């Protein structure tokens, strides 16, 4: 093999090695760019998911404000044929972060966002409530209490009788009475006095 041929062969080998080296560097740069892009997408998606779920969790009430933008408390008393409905068992505690009972207390409603209506509280507890009926969660026939010729479902907010409370947004220190039966005014006044005596836990 002549000198010229050896030099040509060496030059081709060096050229091949150089091309291979450049290709590897190019592939590495592309790989790093792709990986950086993937990481950026993951970080952005994670941040978006966390902030979105913190400010508007799934099943948020329609029209509700940002979770945590308000913290209001009100007292609730429900009496059906004179018997007090107890919201302190676990099945009625903290079913929504927006509005709930908590701490095994069945008297104080906590509202943690603006514009959350009382109807949403009862929906989250699986209690049927409209202007005419109060329905226990098991929906048994004997657990449905509707206004009829003999008995009436009544609502009071701060001693004032109202037609319904589903669309009401409670305010701090409100006192809300739901009562069903054929109670006279004396009995209603006694329930309102009981409601006034309930401690509002904050």
SS3 content of the chain, % helix, strand, coil (to 5): 40, 20, 40
User: pLDDT tens, 30-66?
Assistant: 767 777 777 667 766 655 444 444 444 556 888 899 9
Q: Where are the domains of the chain?
A: 1-57, 72-197
Asked if 198 contacts 75 with a C-beta cutoff of 8 angstroms, the reply is yes
Asked if 61 contacts 117 with a C-beta cutoff of 8 angstroms, the reply is yes
Look at residue 4 in the predicted model and tell me its pLDDT. Answer: 58
Asked if 201 contacts 88 with a C-beta cutoff of 8 angstroms, the reply is no
pTM of the model: 0.70
Look at residue 40 in the predicted model and tell me its pLDDT. Answer: 67
Select the more confidently predicted residue: 177 or 22.
177
User: pLDDT tens, 105-119?
Assistant: 999 999 999 999 999
The residue written with tokens 């508007």 in the block is 56
By three-state DSSP, how is residue 72 classified? strand
Look at residue 137 in the predicted model and tell me its pLDDT. Answer: 82
Architecture of domain 72-197: Beta Complex (2.170)
- To the nearest whole number, what is the mean pLDDT of the chain? 85
pLDDT band at 8; cut points 50, 70, 90:
low
CA 148 to chain centre: 35
pLDDT beyond 70 at 20: no
Q: What stretches of the chain adopt beta strand conformation (E)?
A: 72-80, 83-84, 99-100, 108-111, 128-129, 133-135, 144-146, 152-157, 160-162, 174-181
Give, for 40, the enclosing helix (H) or strand (E). helix 3-55
∠ CA(145), CA(148), CA(152), 5° rounding? 65
**Least confidently predicted of 18-32, 71-85, 133-147:** 18-32
Look at residue 95 in the predicted model and tell me its pLDDT. Answer: 95
């Amino acid at each position: 093999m002549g000198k010229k041929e050896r030099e040509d062969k060496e030059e081709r080998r060096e050229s091949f090695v150089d091309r291979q080296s450049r290709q590897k560097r190019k592939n590495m740069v592309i790989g790093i760019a792709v990986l950086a892009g993937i990481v950026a997408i993951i970080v952005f998606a994670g941040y978006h998911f966390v902030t979105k779920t913190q400010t508007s969790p799934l099943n948020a009430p329609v029209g509700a404000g940002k979770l945590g933008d308000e913290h209001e408390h009100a007292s609730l008393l429900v009496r059906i044929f004179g018997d007090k409905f107890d919201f302190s068992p676990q099945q009625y505690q903290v079913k929504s972060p927006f509005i709930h009972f908590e701490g095994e207390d069945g008297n104080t409603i906590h509202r943690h966002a603006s514009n959350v209506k009382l109807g949403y509280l009862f929906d989250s507890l699986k209690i049927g409530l409209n202007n005419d009926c109060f329905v226990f969660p098991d929906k048994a026939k004997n657990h449905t209490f509707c206004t009829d010729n003999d008995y009436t479902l009544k609502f009071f907010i701060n001693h004032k009788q109202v037609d319904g409370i589903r669309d009401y947004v409670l305010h701090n220190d409100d006192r809300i009475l739901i009562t069903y039966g054929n109670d006279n005014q004396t009995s209603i006044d006694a329930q309102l006095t009981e409601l006034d005596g309930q401690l509002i836990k904050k």
